[in-house]
Chains A and B, each alone.
Chain A
Amino acid sequence: MRADVVVIGGGPAGLAAAIGAAKEDKELNILILERDHELGGILNQCIHNGFGLHTFNEELTGPEYAARFENQLKDYNIDYLLDTMVLDIAQNKVTAVNSANGVFSVECGAIVLCMGCRERPRGALNIPGLRPAGVFTAGTAQRLVNIEGYMPGKEVVILGSGDIGLIMARRMTLEGAKVKAVCELMPYSGGLKRNIVQCLDDFDIPLLLSHTVIDIKGNERVTSVVIAEVDEHSKPKKGTEQEISCDTLLLSCGLLPENELSRAADVKINPATNGPVVNESFETSIPGVFACGNVLHVHDLVDYVSEESARAGKSAARYVKSGQKPDVNAIQIKAEKGVRYTVPSTVRINELEDDLIIRFRSTGVFKDSYIEVTIDGQQKIRRRKQIITPGEMEQVILKREDLNQDVNEITVAITEG
C-alpha cells in the first residue's frame, strides 16, 4: 500500500489533519487509519453540547461536531480504514493490522500522529484498598452510559475533577444516580470553570478540594470509599477520614497522551506534556512525522485540537511536496516561571508563514497575574489575567513581523502582579 500522508487516528485531530492536508493539495493521497469501528474518536460518546463555539460559532454535541468533519472526507477524496491498529511507525512506513488485510505496510511521504490520549487508571494512582467491580475511569463510564445504554452504578463518588469527571457527575445525576461528592487532590480543579458551574453547582454536587480517596471497600462490588483531606504535600491528614457508602468510584485524574508508537520510533518526547517535541509546523524530531491533538498535549477544548491539527495536516502536505527543510536557525521557546510547557518548542523562522501561536498551561493557580513573553530578553507581551489555572489552556500570539532571522530565544512566563 502507498499513501502520501498517513494519519494515525480518526478522532478530532486525525479528521482535521487529513482535511488540512487535503486543502493544501487536493491531489495528495491521504489515508486515515482508525483502530475503532467508526471515525470520530471520543467525540462519539460526548453527547453533551458545547463543542464548536470557536470553529462553527454554534454549540454542537460531540457526534455532531465529528460529523461536520466526517462529511468533508468524501469531498476531499480522503480514504480511511476502520478496525485497523497501527503496530509500528518508521520514517516513511506505517505497519498496521486489520481483519481484511492482515498485517500490512503503507509506504508514505509523511505521517501525522493523532492517537489521542487515555485516562490514568486506578492502578497508576496507587489508591489503596480492595479491587472490586465498580471502579471505572470516567471515560469508560461515559462509554457505557452513552454508547451502550447501561448504568455503571447508582451511588457514585468521583475522584479527580478533570472535565470528563465533571461531565459524568452531571450525566450520572440526569440518569438517576446519586453523585455524593467529587474529590480533588489539588487545591484547585483540573477542569474548566464552566463545567464546574454547569455540572456540579447546578446539581448541588459538592466539590471537595484537597481531598482524596484513601481506601476502597467491598470485595465483590464497591460498598464504600474512605476519603480524607490532604495537606500541602498531598498526604492525608489524620482525623479527617470520612467513609462514604457508594457502589461506584469514577476516576478523572488526568489524561496521558498515547505515545507508545512514537516512543518505539524514538520520537523525542517532552516530559512535561508526555507528547512529542514539535516545531512551528508540528513536526517531531523525526523529519516527516508530525503530531497534533491530544497525543501532542492534552487540550481543554476540541476547537483548539481542530485548529491545530489542520495546521499540522497542512505542514505534512507541504513536506510531501517539498521534502525536508534544514533545521537551521531554530528559535527556542522556553517555558519559564509558572509555565509548565509550551507548544511548539522551537520555531524555524523561514517556515513561519503567519503569526506564531504559542499554547501552554500554567504550573498552578495564579490570580491577578501577567503573562509575559520576551524575545531575546526584550519584553514583547505583558498581558494581565484575573485568573490562570492549569485546567485551562492559555495562548499568546506573536506577530510574524516581530520575529526574524536574528532571534535566538523566546520565553513565556507568568509573573504575579
Chain B
Amino acid sequence: MDNSYDIIIIGAGVTGCAIARELSKYEARILVVEKDEDVCTGTSKANSGIVHAGYDAKPGTLKAKMNIRGNELMTDLAKDLDIPFKRIGSLVVCIDEEQKQGIEDLYQRGLANGVQGLKILNRDEVKELEPNISDNVVCALFAPTAGVICPFRLNIALAECACQNGVEFRFNTEVTDINESENGWIISAGNEKLNSKAVINAAGCHADEMHNLISDNKYHITARRGDYILLDRALEGFVNHVIFPQPTKLGKGILVTPTVHGNTLIGPTAIDNDSKDEAPVTADGIAKVLEGQAKNVTGLPVKQVITGFSGLRAHEDSGEFILKEEINCFFDCVGIESPGLTACPAIGEYMADLVSSKLQLVIKQQWNGICHDVKKPFEMDEKERDQLIKEHPEYGRIICRCETITEGEIIDAIRRTLGARSLDGVKRRTRAGMGRCQGGFCSPKVMEILSRETGIPFNEITKNGGNSKILTGRTKNES
C-alpha cells in the first residue's frame, strides 16, 4: 500500500469526518486514521444529540462562531446526507425568581452571537408549550433554532460521503508517534509509517497528546464525563423541546429532551474522569441525573429507563475550541467539547479553508455531496414499502422487534460504504438493539447476519472490535 498522502486526519469522530468531507471537494489524497474499529466510537457516540442555538458561548469566541455557523449549515447537511434532524426548539428554564437576570443575560448573549428568533417567555407561555414543566417555572429563554439530531447518522454519513469522494479510512490504527520530515510529517501507527504533507489533529480526548508530540506549547485535555439515562419511546410527548436548566460554570446542566427518534433523554452530569477511554456510568452520576431532571419537569416516569450511558467531552484548559495551524501544516482541532456536534459542519468548513489554501489545493470537477441512509421500510409510505418488500423480501423480515428493524436494513448497514463490522456498528447504523429489550432478542440474529455477510466466524463477532468478543467458545457437544 502506498503510504504517502497529502492530508492525514487523525480521528474519525464528527470533527474528523466533517473535515474529511469538506476536503474531499479538493484534488488531494486524504486518509483518516482511527484507533477504534469504526467511525463514531468516542465523544461523537455518547452525547445529547442536540443542535444548539448558540446563546451559551461568549460572543467573539470560536465556540460561538462555530456554533452559529454549524447550526445554520445543519438543515442542508441533514437533507443532503439523509440525517434524522428536527428543529424542535429549546427552553432554558428559570425556576428561581432571583435567577431571572440570568435568562436576560443569556438572551443578550444570544443576540450578540446572532441567534435568530430568541424570545423570553413568561410562566404561562412556558406552561402552555410544555405542560409537564415544573410548577416553579418563572420564565424561560426560547430558542426556535435549536434541534435534535441523530449523532450516529451525522458522523457515519459524513464519513460515507467523504469515502464516496475518495477519502481513505484506516481503522484499528492508533497513532503512536508523529515526526516532522523533509516534505511533511511521518506518522507512526502500529508497525506502519505514514507520510503526509499535512496532518489534522481531530483526536478528541486524545488531541492534546497528538499535539504535544510535535509542539512545546503544551495543551491539556480533561475528559469530562457526562452520565445519561435514556427512557422508553412510550414516553414520547412528555416534553417536546430541549429543556435546559440555567447554565453554570460546569456546563449547560441536566437537560430533558426528546431524541430525534422519540426516546426521552436526561443528563448529562459533568464529572472529571480519570480515563480518556473508559467512561463508566456511576451510581452517583445516575443519582445526579435523576435529581437534576426533577428540578425542571414534574412526574417524568424515570422507571421506564431502557439504558444508561456516559460520554467523555474533551475539555481543554482554555475552555475554547482551538482550530489553527500549529506549525508547518500540522493543524489542530483541540478542545472540541459541547457544542462540538452542532459545530462540526462549521469546523469542517473552517479547517478545510485553512488547509486547502495552505496546500493550494484545486477544487475537483466532480464531487457528490449526497448520501442516503439505510432504507427504512417502516418510515416509508405503504406503497413504497410494499414495493420494496416485494423486490427485496428481507425488508419484510423483522429482526429487532422493539425498533421494527428488518434484515434488509441490517444487510445494508453491513454491505454499504464503511459498513458495520460489529454489533455496535450495526446498532448505530440501524437502531437494531437500541430499543427496550436492548438487544436481548435480536443480538444472536444480528451476529448470524454479520457472520454470514462478512465471513467473520460467528464466535469471533465483537460488540465493538478489539477484544470485545461476544462468545468465548463452543459448547462441549459442538467442539
Q: A residues within 8 Å of B by Cβ?
A: 35, 83, 85, 87, 97-103, 118-119, 121-124, 126, 128-133, 137, 139-140, 143-145, 147-154, 175-176, 214-216, 219-221, 236, 247-248, 260, 263
Residues of chain B contacted by A103 (CB below 8 angstroms) = 382, 385-386, 389, 396
Q: Which residues of B (431-479) have their CB < 8 Å from a CB of A? A: 436-441, 443-444, 458-459, 462-464, 466-478
Count, A-B residue pairs, CB within 8 A: 140
Q: How many residues of B contact A (CB 8 A)?
A: 56
Contact of B472 among A102, A132, A247 (CB under 8 A): A247
CB <8 Å contact, A221 and B441: no
Q: Is B401 part of the contact surface with A, judged by Cβ < 8 Å?
A: yes
- Report yes or no: A118 in contact with B437, Cβ–Cβ below 8 A: yes
Cα of A144 to Cα of B230 in the assembled complex, Å: 27
Within 8 A of A (CB), among B404-426: 404
Chain B residues with Cβ below 8 Å from A247 are: 472
Alpha-carbon separation in the docked complex, A257 to B462 (Å): 30
| A371–chain B nearest beta-carbon distance, Å | 30
- Closest residue of B by beta carbon distance from A145: B475
Contact A98 to B397, CB < 8 A, known contacts A143-B444, A150-B471: yes
Q: Is the CB of B401 within 8 A of A263?
A: no
CA gap between A35 and B473 in the complex, in Å: 29
- CB A259 to nearest CB in B, in angstroms, measures 10
CB atoms of A85 and B401 under 8 A apart: yes
What B residues does A102 contact at CB under 8 A? 385-386, 389-390, 396
Cβ 8 A contact of B476, one of A118, A176, A220, A221: A176
Q: Given the complex of chains A and B, what is the CA–CA distance between A107 and B402 in angstroms?
A: 24
Residue contact B444 to A121, C-beta cutoff 8 Å: no
Tell me if B373 counts as interface (CB < 8 A to partner A): no
Complex Cα spacing A378 to B75, Å: 69
- Chain B positions within 8 Å of A, measured between CB atoms, are 229-230, 234, 277-283, 285-286, 305-309, 382, 385-386, 389-390, 393-394, 396-398, 401-402, 404, 436-441, 443-444, 458-459, 462-464, 466-478
Interface SS, A side: mixed
CA distance A126 to B281 in the complex (A): 9
Query: Could you tell me the distance between the alpha carbons of A58 and B398 in the complex, rounded to whole angstroms?
Result: 37
Interface pair A128/B438, CB less than 8 Å apart: no
Asked if A153 contacts B394 (CB within 8 A), the reply is no
Pick the contact of B468 from A98, A100, A133, A216 — CB < 8 Å? A133
* In contact, A152 and B472 (Cβ under 8 angstroms): yes
Out of A98, A126, A151, A263, which one reaches B286, CB within 8 Å?
A126
B234 touches A152 (CB 8 A): no
A284 to chain B, nearest CB (A): 18
A247 to B475, CA, bound (A): 16
CB proximity of B244 to chain A, nearest CB, Å: 23
B381 to chain A, nearest CB (A): 11
CA distance A97 to B283 in the complex (A): 41
Shortest CB distance B183–A (Å): 38
In the bound complex, residues from chain B placing their C-beta under 8 Å from that of A99 are 389, 393-394, 396-397
Structural contact, A133 and B469, CB atoms closer than 8 A: yes
CB pair B472–A153 under 8 Å, yes or no, is: yes
Task: Provide 12 A-B residue pairs closer than 8 Å at the C-beta atoms, listed in order of the A residue.
Answer: A99-B393, A118-B436, A118-B440, A123-B230, A124-B438, A131-B281, A133-B468, A139-B440, A144-B444, A175-B476, A214-B283, A236-B283
User: Looking across the interface, which residue of chain A has its beta carbon closest to that of B388?
Assistant: A102
Tell whether, in the assembled complex, residue B437 and residue A121 are in contact, meaning their CB atoms are under 8 Å apart. yes
Cα A148 to Cα B457 with chains together (Å): 13
The 8 Å CB contact of A215, one of B280, B285, B397, B474, is B280
Taking a contact as CB atoms closer than 8 A, the residue among A147, A150, A219 that contacts B459 in the complex is A150
Residue numbers in A under 8 Å from B394 (CB-CB): 99
CB distance from B435 to the nearest CB of A (A): 10
Instruction: A147 to B458: give the CA distance in the assembly, Å.
Output: 13
In the bound complex, how far is the Cα of B437 from the Cα of A87, in angstroms?
17
CB distance from B147 to the nearest CB of A (A): 25
In the bound complex, how far is the Cα of B437 from the Cα of A236, in angstroms? Answer: 26
- The complex places the Cα of A122 from the Cα of B443 at a distance, in Å, of 14
Tell me, in angstroms, the Cα distance from A148 to B470 when the chains sit together.
13
**What 8 A-B pairs come out closest when comparing CB atoms?**
A123-B307, A99-B393, A121-B438, A149-B478, A133-B463, A99-B396, A85-B398, A133-B468
Q: Measured between alpha carbons, how far is A293 from B281 in the docked complex, in Å?
A: 36
Task: State whether A128 and B444 are in contact (beta carbons under 8 Å apart), knowing that A99-B394, A133-B469 are contacts in the complex.
Answer: no
For residue B473, which residues in chain A have a CB less than 8 angstroms away from its CB?
A: 150-151, 154
User: Which residues does chain A contribute within 8 Å of B464, judged by CB atoms?
Assistant: 133, 220
A164–B458 alpha-carbon span in the complex (Å): 24
